């Protein structure tokens, strides 16, 4: 009884996790009843005669071919159909050849054919490319070839058999494919797309929260709240092992016809490129996560000074990732992550300048290990984030995402980047159609870098800008690429792009 | 033509990669010919009569059930057999029930039965535990239930059908299982075991070579040699993505009967625990690998001082991992990795003491980032190595690995550990039956720590000891757990265990 209740609970969990599973179960039931009633009311009556075998094949095709996603169903259905056709043709030839050779040699010849074909096809199944795409087809090929060539029918009967076998496979396969496409379809491509978006979101959430977790001892609060936040933060762990899911989804997605926002030849392979980078980033985050609660004993004032660029590195990477995920989700070309990438890179530079300034000279090296490892991990994450945004950009152009609407009226808002150190603006390569205005401002608040309140006023208010750019309004891109010693100090550049 | 040559080349590669694939292909061919000739010479003749369907089922069972490894074949065969039995029984009941209800309601009732069973079973396939183990069984359950309950035979005929269907599945399944077990068997368990051993070896190779790669600019040699070494070193990358292979092997291994050195209820799950730790270590190594060619600008004399504990940390972790892999490979309980773990930990301590001594005080923090990240990664690796050896020990005891032979004559060899810093010996928890001798030596060569030649003399000559212990001779375990400030300085402990 307890066992039964547990099963029901598990069933509810599985159903709630993805309600499409319940729908899928109904679809399978419907397909099966449809196909079997089609054969049930055949003139010959079902299963009692020669044609009964065919009804069996149709029911079998439905049970075996109907998979959760359209891509998987199509892949199996097409594999089964084509393999049956090819194997049927070959088997007919083999049968003909064997029957010409007389009654004693015939069985030996047939056995040899079956042996060679089966062994060869089994071996070919080990080829990586065949395994990925045509594994099921090879299986059905062996099956059909053996069944038809071993049968001792006369040639006309065999033609009948081959034809009816093909027609039943067609009836079963086509009903599966039609039902899976037209009744609440589950597209593997859509799932892959959503998985990638949600993985980006998860990492972005971690990076945006990281600063708070690292610098505030947020472990001393309401236990339930802390635990919930912790669980939320550690959702990134699901990204670490997402490879096999992504691979199989991409494998099915390439079988799917154009649907929704996904056109013909949608670049599913590029999704795997982005996904691999996202996973690489997740592994860095996993390492970072182990340093969250390391209480490094660094004087509080130094900690305060480091906090700002630290927070900004992770926050801006997180925002860039969020922008990339929004661009992917809405399937629009976007460069709104550029600004966050540049901000995070400038925070990197600010941090290194801070470290160069000798701020840590009095700290013992051993106490720096955890701190500097965090720095280098964050640095890695900033770099990977740039790569991710690059690969999302490539995906956007390969998939021909639409551009954002042109703005009608430019509404410019100027903000200053905190300089924090020797900094300068350098013009970025102008993209086509952009109006680039480069303003060089003299910046004298170098002494303010330690003042947190002031800094937070200087930092760009990115949310405002992003929301505007999402509405198709003017987009202000503030760049601050610092190359120490290459350009005059204390100059800050604000670059205005009209997109 | 070019295409064909490419296919042949690919075939040769696939065959050379694992020659058992060729053998497997032959086995499938043989099984198919055997089973079909069994039915070919039946009194009724094949495929032309009622019993012909059964020959088809037998051939089909062989094609579908025969998998590469014994475990996979058994899993599919048993799933198919049991599912056919259960579904056959239920379908008979359903058929009986429906036939009692009169000719008009009968088809409706049957369709309802099929619908409910198919939908329910399809839904249950989404349960994670069912999916992992009984997915194929559920498929066959739906298939058999639909086929038998939809057939319009009279009850005796149905009994005949069910019985013959079961017997053919048995004939097909049992021949597959017998051939796969007795003709050049491929055991998934053995494969999992070897995969884990080879993964441990790969990581161990990296760690043992890491010191040379990091400290010697070995990139300026013969290009081919450098490339080969590099390729060898980067074999660890295969470990990063081994999860899905390991999971499926472990899943199949649990179906396999005792074979070779693997007894009944061999703890395959514990293999996955070890494998997860190994993968975790591989990810740290992946991060480490990116620092190999970072030429950090640290004064040469400081570099020299750091080199020794650095090298020892990675070398000793590598050796510990090698010992763990040997223990696993030979399936013997071993504690020969303990000494390397302790050595690597003492190298960690030596390194931190060195860092504490202010050796890096004049180095700029920015230049330390790469160095200290390497330190912290190596530190992580040392910790993970300890966890790995712990989990291998648990595996050894869960799998009841045999103990090494008792030594007949104790031959003691004493060596000193380099102290390198404030150090002391602490007695380790004695394991049952061990004779523990703790010797405290006064150690005055603290000034020698910078002298590489001297240090290399002091370091334990581990290979000698390990070889001895593998032959069952006396085992010397030298421990040097340092707790600065807790014990008198300059005391070194050598502990002799008789195992």
The pLDDT of residue B150 is above 80? no
The nearest CA of chain A is from the CA of B212 a distance in Å of 23
Q: Kindly state which CATH superfamily the domain B188-402 is placed in.
A: Phosphate transport system protein phou homolog 2; domain 2 (1.20.58.220)
What is the C-alpha separation between B432 and B434, in angstroms, rounded? 6
The pLDDT of residue B348 is above 50? yes
What is the C-alpha separation between B258 and A255, in angstroms, rounded? 42
Q: Which residue has the higher pLDDT, B58 or B452?
A: B58
Buried b (16+ CB within 10 A) or exposed e, A50-59: ebbbbbbbbb
What is the C-alpha separation between B99 and B109, in angstroms, rounded? 9
What's the pLDDT score for residue A201?
93
Number of neighbouring beta carbons within 10 Å of residue B427: 11
- pLDDT single digits (tens) B275-310: 999 999 998 898 888 877 665 566 777 778 888 888
By CA distance, what is A280's nearest residue in B? Answer: B283
What's the pLDDT score for residue B294?
63
Q: A309 falls in which pLDDT band (50, 70, 90)?
A: confident
The nearest CA of chain B is from the CA of A467 a distance in Å of 37
What's the pLDDT score for residue A45?
44
Three-state SS string over A403-429 comes to CCCCCCCCCCCCCCCCCCCCCCCCCCC
Averaged pLDDT score across all residues of chain B:
76
Look up residue B375 and give its two tokens.
């330190």
Residue B407 carries which DSSP code?
Answer: P
Please give the average per-residue pLDDT across B148-165, as a whole number.
Answer: 73
Instruction: For residue A119, give the nearest of B29, B143, B379 by CB distance.
Output: B29
- The torsion angles phi and psi of A197, rounded to 5 degrees, stand at -60, -45
Element (DSSP H or E) covering residue A477: strand A475-477
Q: A408 falls in which pLDDT band (50, 70, 90)?
A: very low
Which range, of A331-340, A353-362, B326-335, averages the lowest pLDDT? A353-362
The pLDDT of residue A56 is above 50? yes
Q: In what order do the strands lie in the sheet with B475-477?
A: B436-442, B491-497, B475-477
What is the C-alpha separation between A370 and A383, in angstroms, rounded? 20
Under DSSP, is residue B153 helix (H, G, I), strand (E, B) or coil? Answer: coil
Look up residue B407 and give its two tokens.
């030594």
By CA distance, what is A284's nearest residue in B? Answer: B287
The nearest CA of chain B is from the CA of A28 a distance in Å of 6
The pLDDT of residue B445 is above 80? no
Q: B18: burial class by Cβ within 10 Å (0-12, 13-18, 19+)? A: middle
Q: Do B37 and A286 touch (CB under 8 A)?
A: no
Q: A270 falls in which pLDDT band (50, 70, 90)?
A: very high
What's the pLDDT score for residue B42?
59
Query: How many helical (H) and strand (E) elements, i.e. helices and strands, does chain B have?
Result: 17, 3
What is the C-alpha separation between B149 and B165, in angstroms, rounded? 14
Interface test with chain B among A376, A379, A482, A484, by most B beta carbons within 10 Å: A376
Is the whole-model pTM more than 0.80?
no
* Contact yes or no for A144/A83 (Cβ under 8 A): yes
* Contact yes or no for B328/B200 (Cβ under 8 A): yes
The pLDDT of residue B214 is above 90? no
The pLDDT of residue B494 is above 60? no
What's the pLDDT score for residue B414?
36
Give the side-chain half-sphere CA count within 13 A for B404.
22
Domain boundaries along the sequence of chain A: 1-182, 188-402
Q: Which residue has the higher pLDDT, A132 or B448?
A: A132
What is the C-alpha separation between A210 and A228, in angstroms, rounded? 15
Query: Which residues, in sequence order, are bridge partners of residue A437?
Result: A496
Kindly compute the dihedral angle of the four CA atoms of residues A43, A48, A53, A54, in this order, to the nearest 10 degrees. 10
By CA distance, what is A58's nearest residue in B? Answer: B147
Q: Do A365 and B360 touch (CB under 8 A)?
A: yes
The pLDDT of residue B50 is above 90? no
Please give the average per-residue pLDDT across B104-121, as a whole number.
Answer: 90
Look up residue A442 and give its two tokens.
């003299």
What's the pLDDT score for residue B358?
72
* Strands annotated E in B71-112: none
- pLDDT single digits (tens) B18-34: 999 999 999 999 999 98
What's the pLDDT score for residue A476?
34
- pLDDT single digits (tens) A168-198: 888 889 999 999 999 999 999 999 999 999 9
Q: Do A150 and B59 touch (CB under 8 A)?
A: yes
Angle (nearest 5°) at CA A242 between A239 and A248: 155
What's the pLDDT score for residue A87?
92
The pLDDT of residue A138 is above 50? yes
Which range, of A271-275, A435-439, B106-110, averages the lowest pLDDT? A435-439
Q: Do A368 and B366 touch (CB under 8 A)?
A: no
Among the ranges A34-43, A332-341, B414-423, which has the highest mean pLDDT value? A332-341
Name residues whose C-beta falls within 8 Å of residue B393's C-beta, 6 or more positions apart in sequence: B333, B335
Buried b (16+ CB within 10 A) or exposed e, B75-87: bbbbbbbebbbeb
* Chain B residues with CB-CB distance to A354 below 8 A: none
What's the pLDDT score for residue A88?
87
Number of neighbouring beta carbons within 10 Å of residue A116: 12
Q: Do B241 and A241 touch (CB under 8 A)?
A: no
What's the pLDDT score for residue B79?
93
What's the pLDDT score for residue A2?
86
Please give the average per-residue pLDDT across A478-491, as a whole number.
Answer: 34
Query: Which residues, in sequence order, are bridge partners of residue B441?
Result: B492
Element (DSSP H or E) covering residue B494: strand B491-497
Averaged pLDDT score across all residues of chain A:
76
What's the pLDDT score for residue A461?
38
Instruction: For residue B150, give the nearest of A46, A114, A375 by CB distance.
Output: A46
Name residues whose C-beta falls within 8 Å of residue A298's C-beta, 6 or more positions apart in sequence: A363, A367, A368, A371
The nearest CA of chain A is from the CA of B122 a distance in Å of 5
Name residues whose C-beta falls within 8 Å of residue A80's C-beta, 6 or more positions apart in sequence: A61, A64, A65, A136, A137, A140, A169, A173
Look up residue A60 and give its two tokens.
């079998």
The nearest CA of chain B is from the CA of A461 a distance in Å of 29
Selection from B412, B420, B389 nearest residue B495 by Cα: B412
The pLDDT of residue A57 is above 90? no
* Contact yes or no for A484/A351 (Cβ under 8 A): no
Please give the average per-residue pLDDT across A281-292, as a whole number.
Answer: 86
B47 torsion bin: left (phi>0), alpha (psi -120 to 50), beta (else): left
Q: Which residue has the higher pLDDT, B1 or B405?
A: B1
By CA distance, what is B367's nearest residue in A? Answer: A356
Name residues whose C-beta falls within 8 Å of residue A269's C-beta, 6 or more positions apart in sequence: A250
* Chain A residues with CB-CB distance to B283 below 8 A: 283, 286-287
The pLDDT of residue A52 is above 60? no
Q: Which residue has the higher pLDDT, B154 or A24?
A: A24
- pLDDT single digits (tens) A17-40: 999 999 999 999 999 998 888 777
Q: Which residue has the higher pLDDT, A174 or B460?
A: A174
Selection from A353, A358, A14, A288 nearest residue B130 by Cα: A14
Q: A499 falls in which pLDDT band (50, 70, 90)?
A: very low
What's the pLDDT score for residue B149?
81
Q: Please name the residue ranges forming H helices in A41-104.
A: 52-65, 70-100
Q: B404 falls in which pLDDT band (50, 70, 90)?
A: low
Selection from A285, A298, A491 nearest residue A388 by Cα: A285
Please give the average per-residue pLDDT across B481-494, as a whole number.
Answer: 33
Please give the average per-residue pLDDT across B354-373, as a whole number.
Answer: 75
What is the C-alpha separation between B338 and B499, in angstroms, rounded? 13
- Dihedral sign of CA atoms A267, A273, A274, A275 in order: positive
What's the pLDDT score for residue B199?
94
Selection from A355, A418, A352, A405 nearest residue A379 by Cα: A352
């Amino acid at each position: 009884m307890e066992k039964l209740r547990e099963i029901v609970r598990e069933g509810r969990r599985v159903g709630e996790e993805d309600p499409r599973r319940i729908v899928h179960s109904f679809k399978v039931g419907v397909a099966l009843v449809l196909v079997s009633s089609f054969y049930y009311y055949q003139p010959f009556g079902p299963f009692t005669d020669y044609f009964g075998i065919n009804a069996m094949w149709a029911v079998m095709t439905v049970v075996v071919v109907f998979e959760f996603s359209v891509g998987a169903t199509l892949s199996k259905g097409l594999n089964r159909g084509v393999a049956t056709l090819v194997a049927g043709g070959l088997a007919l030839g083999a049968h003909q050849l064997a029957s010409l050779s007389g009654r004693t040699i015939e069985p030996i010849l047939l056995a040899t054919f079956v042996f060679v074909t089966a062994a060869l096809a089994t071996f070919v199944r080990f080829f990586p490319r065949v395994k990925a795409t045509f594994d099921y087809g090879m299986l059905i090929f062996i099956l059909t070839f053996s069944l038809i060539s071993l049968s001792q029918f006369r040639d006309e009967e065999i033609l009948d058999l081959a034809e009816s076998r093909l027609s039943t496979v067609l009836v079963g396969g086509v009903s599966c494919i039609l039902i899976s496409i037209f009744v609440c379809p589950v597209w593997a491509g859509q799932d892959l797309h959503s998985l990638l978006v949600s993985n980006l979101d998860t990492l972005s959430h971690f990076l945006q929260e990281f600063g708070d977790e690292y610098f505030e001892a947020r472990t001393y609060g309401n236990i339930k709240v802390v635990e919930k936040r912790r669980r939320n933060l550690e959702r990134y762990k699901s990204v670490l092992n997402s490879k096999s899911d992504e691979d199989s989804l991409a494998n099915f997605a390439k079988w799917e016809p154009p649907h929704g926002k996904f056109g013909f030849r949608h670049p599913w392979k590029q999704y795997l490129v982005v996904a691999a980078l996202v996973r690489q980033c997740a592994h860095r985050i996993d390492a970072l996560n182990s340093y969250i609660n390391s209480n490094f004993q660094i004087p509080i004032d130094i900690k305060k000074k480091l906090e700002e660029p630290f927070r900004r590195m992770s926050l801006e990477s997180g925002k860039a990732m969020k922008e990339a995920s929004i661009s992917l989700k809405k399937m629009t070309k976007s460069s709104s992550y550029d600004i966050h990438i540049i901000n995070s890179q400038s925070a990197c530079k600010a941090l290194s300048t801070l470290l160069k300034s000798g701020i840590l000279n009095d700290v013992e090296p051993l106490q720096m290990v955890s701190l500097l490892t965090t720095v280098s991990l964050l640095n890695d994450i900033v770099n990977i984030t740039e790569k991710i945004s690059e690969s999302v950009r490539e995906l956007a152009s390969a998939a021909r995402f639409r551009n954002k609407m042109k703005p009608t009226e430019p509404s410019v808002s100027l903000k200053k980047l905190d300089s924090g150190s020797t900094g300068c603006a350098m013009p970025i390569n102008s993209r086509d159609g952009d109006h680039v205005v480069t303003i060089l401002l003299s910046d004298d608040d170098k002494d303010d870098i330690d003042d947190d309140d002031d800094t937070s006023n200087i930092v760009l208010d990115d949310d405002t800008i992003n929301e505007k750019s999402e509405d198709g309004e003017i987009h202000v891109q503030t760049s601050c690429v610092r190359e120490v010693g290459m350009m005059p100090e204390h100059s800050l550049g604000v670059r205005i792009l009209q997109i």
